C-alpha cells in the first residue's frame, strides 16, 4: 500500500478518477465487497498498474533446471540455477508501451470497460510458473478491498509547502518507496 499511496499522490488525476468510480458503484457509506470488482474496471486497472509499477519483489525465488533444456536457442544444462527477474517482464516496452509511466489505462481497451489481454497476460507480479505465490488470490482480494476502502474515505495529497515524493526505490529484500510526507483529507 505504500507504493499505492505514493503513486496516487503523484497522480491526483488518477486518484480522482478512481474515487469517482468508487462513488458511482459503491457510494460514500457502504463497505466495498469483492462482488463490486466486476463493476469497477478502472479500479481493477489501477490495481494492476500499481502492481506493475511497485514490483515489490523484483527478483523471483531461485529454481533449478531438472534436465538439459533450451530457451531461445540457448542451451541450459541440468541443475542450472535460474532466477526469473520479474522486472524484465513488467518493464517490457512491447507489452507496456512507455513502461516508465504510471498509466492504468494501458490495461483497458478503448471502451474503458474491457481489459487489454496483452497487458493483462504480461502482468506477473506474483511470479511465474507452477510455484508462483500461493497467496495470490488472497493478496488480490486484500489489495482491492483495502485500496477501495481508503480511496472511498480519504484523499491523499502532498502537504502544503511539501514536495512530490522521490520515486527512487529503496532496495533490500524487497523494494519500497523513499520516506515521504502525505496529507490525508476526509472525503465525506
Give the residue ranges of the annotated binding site for heme.
133
Q: Binding site: what residues are annotated?
A: 133
Q: Which grid coordinates belong to 104?
A: 492504468
Q: Are 49 and 104 in contact (CB under 8 A)?
A: yes
Q: Which residue has the cell 490525508?
A: 184
Cβ neighbours of residue 108 under 8 Å, at least 6 residues apart? 41, 42, 45, 114, 115, 116
Give the DSSP H or E segment for 25: helix 12-25
Residue 74, all three cell numbers: 540457448
Query: Helix H segments across 26-108?
Result: 41-54, 86-90
Beta bridge partners of 184: 156
Amino acid at each position: 500500500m505504500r507504493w499505492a499511496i505514493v503513486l496516487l499522490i503523484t497522480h491526483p488525476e488518477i486518484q480522482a478518477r478512481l474515487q469517482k468510480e468508487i462513488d458511482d458503484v459503491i457510494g460514500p457509506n457502504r463497505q466495498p465487497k469483492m462482488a463490486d470488482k466486476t463493476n469497477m474496471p478502472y479500479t481493477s486497472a489501477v490495481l494492476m498498474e500499481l502492481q506493475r509499477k511497485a514490483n515489490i519483489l523484483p527478483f523471483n525465488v531461485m529454481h533449478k533446471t531438472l534436465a538439459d533444456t533450451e530457451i531461445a536457442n540457448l542451451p541450459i544444462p541440468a541443475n542450472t540455477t535460474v532466477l526469473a527477474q520479474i522486472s524484465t517482464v513488467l518493464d517490457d516496452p512491447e507489452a507496456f508501451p512507455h513502461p516508465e509511466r504510471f498509466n492504468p489505462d494501458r490495461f483497458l481497451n478503448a471502451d474503458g470497460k474491457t481489459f487489454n489481454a496483452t497487458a493483462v497476460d504480461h502482468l506477473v507480479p506474483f511470479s511465474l510458473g507452477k510455484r508462483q505465490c500461493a497467496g495470490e488470490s488472497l493478496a488480490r482480494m486484500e489489495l482491492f478491498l483495502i485500496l477501495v476502502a481508503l480511496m472511498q474515505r480519504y484523499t491523499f495529497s502532498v502537504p502544503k509547502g511539501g514536495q512530490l515524493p522521490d520515486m527512487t526505490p529503496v532496495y533490500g529484500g524487497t523494494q519500497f518507496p523513499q520516506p515521504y510526507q502525505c496529507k490525508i483529507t476526509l472525503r465525506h
